[in-house]
Structure 1
Amino acid sequence: MALPQFKRILLKLSGEALMGDHSFGISPQMIQYVADEIGSIVGLGVETAIVVGGGNIFRGIAASSYGMDRASADHMGMLATVINSLALQDALEKKDIQTRVQTAISMHEVAEPYILRRAVRHLEKGRVVIFAAGTGSPYFTTDTAAVLRAQEIHAEILLKATKVDGLYDSDPVENKDAEFVKNITYMEALERQLKVMDMTAISLAMDNQLPLVVFSLNNKGNIKNVVCGEDIGSRITN
């Protein structure tokens, strides 16, 4: 059996990843699939933290573009991430994987407040911890929240599971000649403005030398394979 190369990781899931074939919301089949994929690494003893986006329900940046106040729109987006986090928690616990949701916005009736020491203790006890509501502040994306939380819990690597199989020099959906980028430095990613993560997130990862791996969620077993050291997807390192 392949052995994990990391003891503690942070997994970033986009909200769109939970839509599956739907155009909006959460696909029951997809969230079960994601729960199975996460369970495969929890079963290896990997301490797993997760940040989920909210774009399948509400995207703050998009709403602000048609006149809504950006702070209000971003707070609505944060609430969307809480919905996704609770759905993922339910799917994981149905598979007997103990899970805790911690939110950056206080809502004691539905989730724990984000407390770093408590989160680390959950991880040490083998529980999956889902960080919801981004950073709790507007103008920051869930990518930035993922890098921030990864640093705070001392994750060894950040895995970003997306709809594409890694980094490209342009959008592979719009440009069939887009070139795959296997390895790249943080500075090159910033200079070329590759859209896999926002610039703030990549800058924060660079400042703290947090390795990033971008890969496809849709290939079954990819999360486990990356954790076990297989050369999958694209890597952004120093």
Structure 2
Amino acid sequence: MSPTYKRVLLKLSGEALAGTNKTGISPDTVAEICREIGTVLAMGVEMALVIGGGNIFRGLSGSAKGMERSSADYMGMLATVLNALAVQDMLEKQGYPTRVLSAITMQEVCEPFIRRRALRHMEKGRVVICAAGTGNPYFTTDTTAVLRGMELKCDAIIKATKVDGIYDKDPAKYSDAVKFETITYDETLARHLGVMDATAFALVRDNNIPIIVCRMFGGDIRRAVMGEPVGTIVRND
């Protein structure tokens, strides 16, 4: 069977890279994540990644503690670069060519994000890791994921999380939480489910790119790419 989605953008939280720790980068966890990514790449799917920075520094929480919001957000962007380099290193150790493209220029470390260059890398089978957010404060990595997904003409955006989809309430706190198989962008916003921020949903809704929320491990990412019923699909209809 051929994959349903030929080109995808995978959004990972920074906290995921910390593993059982609350902060930092766990090499074992990064290796496990990269093996999951490898199962998708092995099918010939073109892939871009956007990784958060919450395991190192989160701009919004820094701002809440008294830092100037723009400064805190720039620190968060730099944290995403550290995570991108960690994932790049592990993917290449596993035999997958990658390129880190940053929205903030740092030529000694990675390439600047140029849309046409990113598209060309993907066409050549390289994993494009988009770092430093949009390069602007006040925008989350969720918004970055949607923006890059549209710029790179991705067929779907996959948000890999600790849970297996979107629920009407926190399944970790409520045993009667109900999982959605599909849900619309408008309903997700109206219910305040917190899957992505409103800016990200506004962007993706207007362009009708499906968002698939699924587990990070257990093969769910591969199954989502194959179009199998896994996780929750957010779309207009």
Q: TM-score range by the shorter chain?
A: over 0.9
SS at match of 1:10: strand
Instruction: Report the secondary structure of 1:34's partner residue.
Output: helix
Q: The residue matched to 1:97 in structure 2 has which SS? A: coil
Give the match for residue 146 of structure 1.
Answer: 145
Identity of counterpart residues, as a percentage? 56
What does residue 97 of structure 2 align with?
Answer: 98
Distance 2:52 2:202 in 1: 19
Residue 172 of structure 2 aligns with which residue? 173
CA–CA separation in structure 2 for the residues paired with 1:75 and 1:178: 37
3-state DSSP class of the match of 1:130?
Answer: strand
> How big is the shift at 1:41?
1.0
- SS of 1:134's partner is coil
Name the aligned partner's letter for residue 12 of structure 2: L
State TM-score, norm by structure 2.
0.97
Query: Which of residues 227, 230, 233 is equivalent to 1:229?
Result: 227
Once residues 61 and 176 of structure 2 are traced to their aligned partners in structure 1, the CA distance between those partners, rounded to angstroms, is 28
The amino acid of 1:232's aligned partner reads: V
Rounded Cα–Cα distance in structure 1 between residues aligned with 2:165 and 2:60: 23
Partner letter of residue 85 of structure 1?
Answer: A
Matched with 2:188 is 189
> How many Å separate the matches in 1 of 2:96 and 2:119?
17
Matches within 5 A, 1:36-47: 36-47=35-46
Q: Does 117-126 or 161-170 show the bigger shift?
A: 161-170
Q: Which residue type is aligned with residue 107 of structure 1?
A: M
Correspondence for 1:161: 160
- Give ranges in structure 1 of 5+ residues lacking alignment: none
Task: Provide Cα deviations, 1:126-183, integer angstroms capped at 9, x if missing partner.
Answer: 0000000011100000000000000001000000001111111122223333221221
Counterpart secondary structure, 2:47 = strand
2:176, 2:136 → 1: CA distance? 38
**Residue 80 of structure 2 corresponds to which residue in structure 1?**
81
Q: Which region of structure 1 is more displaced relative to structure 2, 124-133 or 192-201? A: 192-201
What is the RMSD of the two structures over their aligned residues, measured on CA atoms? 0.9
Aligned-partner residue type, residue 171 of structure 1? D
